[in-house]
């Protein structure tokens, strides 16, 4: 899910929220994002990678959250940012 949080709060322009099944999966998702960013010359701040329960990748204007299902349900960022527009992302 991509939320355009910049429309309601200056914390960032966009927030990306995704879920992995287990910590190994969340770390793999985060690693692929970080690798792709590095290939483009973009450095990111990363928190939570060691535990892999909730990994935050901070790009200043974009914040990516990679959650385990139970933490995504618990923190409900989609609800917290419910007033912000959601963007549709196609897989093709």
pLDDT, mean of residues 75-92: 87
pLDDT in tens, 9-42: 888 999 999 999 999 999 999 999 999 999 999 9
In this predicted structure, the answer to whether residue 86 has a pLDDT above a threshold of 60 is yes
Q: Please give the Cα distance from 11 to 6 (Å, whole number).
A: 7
Q: Please give the Cα distance from 61 to 73 (Å, whole number).
A: 24
| DSSP 8-state secondary structure symbol assigned to residue 21 | S
Whether 65 contacts 38, CB under 8 Å: no
For the question of whether the overall pTM of this predicted structure is more than 0.85, the answer is yes
62-67: strand order across its sheet: 45-47, 54-58, 62-67, 14-19, 2-3, 86-87
Domains of the chain with bracketed CATH? 2-87 (3.30.460.10)
């Amino acid at each position: 899910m991509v939320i355009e949080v910049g429309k309601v709060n200056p914390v960032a322009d966009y927030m990306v929220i995704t879920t992995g099944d287990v910590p190994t999966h969340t770390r793999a998702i985060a690693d692929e994002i970080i690798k792709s960013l590095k290939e483009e010359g973009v450095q990111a701040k990363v928190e939570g990678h060691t535990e892999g329960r909730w990994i935050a990748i901070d790009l200043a204007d974009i914040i990516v959250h990679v959650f385990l299902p139970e933490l995504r349900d618990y923190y409900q960022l989609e609800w917290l940012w419910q007033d912000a527009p959601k963007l549709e992302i196609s897989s093709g």
